[in-house]
Amino acid sequence: MPLTPLRALPLALVLAACGPDTGDDTGAPASTGDPSTTQHSTSGDAPTSGDASTGEPSTGEPVGVTYYRDIKPLLDARCVQCHSAGNIAPFALTTHAEAAPFAAMLSAAADAGTMPPWPPDPACRAYAHDVTLTPEQRDLLREWTELGAPAGDPASEPPGDDTPGDDVVYDVELQLPAPYLPTITPDEYRCFLLDWPKAEDTFVTALDVVPGERQIVHHVITYAIEPQDVDAYHALEDADPDPGYVCYGGPGASAESVYRVPWLSAWAPGTPGGAMPAGTGLRVQPGSVIAVQMHYHGLPGAKADQSKIRIRTASKVDRPAVIMPFTNLDWVLGSEPMHIPAGDPDVMLSHELDITPYLTFLFPKGPFKGTEPFVVHAAGTHQHTLGTKNKLSVVRKGGTGDECLLEIPRWDFNWQGTYPFAATATVHPGDRLRLECHWDNSAANQPVVDGVQQPAKDLGWGEGTGDEMCLGMLYVTAQ
């Protein structure tokens, strides 16, 4: 089904319209080495109860797995960025006293693959910054649990860097204009506008969020509002008596202004450093404002938040990038409405399209010159709360086989991300992007409001929490 330029426009609208979107860094976090990866081998090499052959110095330290020598480095590398005091996870794992009582639970979550949160299916593709635990790390947690979670000798803790690496040097720092305490529970989506300080065209090559009140900051999505739309956005802000303005769907309220909104990044707790793939960056014009959508998950006793955004800029990059939304416009525009019938426990919808002929319509300011291959560096998908799984892939021209870009086998609205690829994928003219989404719209899977489970109803495309979506997002450059 061919796209006309006119029909192509709302695609960007859709992208901007699904507020609580990716939970990860759109901009493909730094490809610089992750010290926690090195940590694996430290942990993995540590002697375990069945292996005393590694010649541990005679400190009287037990040979079996201990907290200080084996478990603390693992938890520090993979868990404490969320599991620490005042942070988003419900309990801390920073000391032996905190971790030991949970040993069996930690091991079970590790074995089940539910912690740390990392939704992509590894069988689909390899990603940079994959945080899933190695089999050796899981073994360590299991053996530690079986031994009764011993502390061991504090002196045996391996030296070294426990914090996830981020050697990016940021040159722009923007802070929310005022401390804000969310008033809508349990979730509030609020946008703030921050002036963009650069006087010439600039590329964003890294973006990181420094949450103010970690306990309540669930997602932060950052958009660059182009100069011609800035007044309309300030009007939204002026109309809201509190700092910023309420924005569930995206950063804007009117279709005319929203369809041009370019994404810069999406961040969630635990996201490693925010560098985009080397040599690439997203263009921001002078006179733009940065709209920041905060997803606050309220907790009693939380303090006001005043998060910061840190940005690294460059005056030019080798390959300007864009964030390309991918979905079926017929679902969006209603010409072939998305239909998710009430009562069906596994509704599947899919869409395939050779997108290359439309790239210049979608991105009139570049970087594409015509029908030419494009390169995908990172991908994310988006559904709302009844989504169960989704997959984004490339169907090769001539039936030479599909290339999986991203598969989320257990969709969880709370852990959305955009995942940087370990190796890029090139899409050629004639190749088709393919997106597939599944939903459980059975009676048993409906939301509970005030203690009452709601009846199942037919669902379609929309921006509200009671609507659904099926959307792919790709961080793309020209070849």
Contact footprint for ligand HEC (CB under 6 A): 78-79, 81-83, 88-90, 105-106, 109-110, 114-117, 133, 269-270
3-state secondary structure of 244: coil
Nearest distance from residue 106's CB to ligand HEC, in Å?
4
Nearest distance from residue 299's CB to ligand HEC, in Å?
11
Give the type of residue at 173.
Answer: E
Copy the structure tokens of residue 99. 């971790």
Those residues with Cβ within 8 angstroms of residue 393's Cβ, 6 or more apart along the chain or in another chain:
402, 403, 404, 405, 407, 433, 434
Nearest distance from residue 295's CB to ligand HEC, in Å?
13
What's the CA gap between 138 and 76, in Å, rounded?
Answer: 15
Q: Smaller CB distance to ligand HEC: residue 156 or 271?
A: 271
Give the Cβ contact number of residue 147 at 10 Å: 16
Q: Smaller CB distance to ligand HEC: residue 188 or 436?
A: 188
Q: Smaller CB distance to ligand HEC: residue 140 or 174?
A: 140
What's the CA gap between 307 and 177, in Å, rounded?
Answer: 9
Beta bridge mates, 395: 402, 432
Nearest distance from residue 218's CB to ligand HEC, in Å?
9
38-to-113, 187, 215 alpha-carbon distances in Å: 20, 37, 29
Q: Smaller CB distance to ligand HEC: residue 115 or 425?
A: 115
Is 439 within 8 Å of 342 (Cβ atoms)? no
Those residues with Cβ within 8 angstroms of residue 196's Cβ, 6 or more apart along the chain or in another chain:
224, 284, 286, 287, 288, 289, 290
Q: Which helix (H) or strand (E) holds 41?
A: helix 35-45
What's the CA gap between 351 and 24, in Å, rounded?
Answer: 24
Nearest distance from residue 271's CB to ligand HEC, in Å?
8
Query: 3-state SS string over 117-158?
Result: CCCCCCCCCCECCCCCCCHHHHHHHHHHHHCCCCCCCHHHCC
Q: Smaller CB distance to ligand HEC: residue 20 or 320?
A: 20
Nearest distance from residue 427's CB to ligand HEC, in Å?
30
Nearest distance from residue 163's CB to ligand HEC, in Å?
13
Q: Smaller CB distance to ligand HEC: residue 83 or 142?
A: 83
Q: Smaller CB distance to ligand HEC: residue 112 or 423?
A: 112
Nearest distance from residue 225's CB to ligand HEC, in Å?
29
Q: Smaller CB distance to ligand HEC: residue 10 or 273?
A: 273
Radius of gyration of the chain (CA): 23
What's the CA gap between 116 and 106, in Å, rounded?
Answer: 10
Q: In what order do the strands lie in the sheet with 245-246?
A: 245-246, 187-195, 289-297, 217-225, 263-267
Q: Smaller CB distance to ligand HEC: residue 152 or 270?
A: 270
CA 143 to centroid of chain Cα atoms: 32
Query: 3-state SS string over 437-454?
Result: EEECCCHHHCCEECCEEC
Nearest distance from residue 59's CB to ligand HEC, in Å?
27
279-to-360, 380, 427 alpha-carbon distances in Å: 22, 21, 19
Nearest distance from residue 133's CB to ligand HEC, in Å?
6
Q: Smaller CB distance to ligand HEC: residue 212 or 244?
A: 212
Q: Smaller CB distance to ligand HEC: residue 25 or 436?
A: 25
Nearest distance from residue 356's CB to ligand HEC, in Å?
36
Copy the structure tokens of residue 326. 């991918």
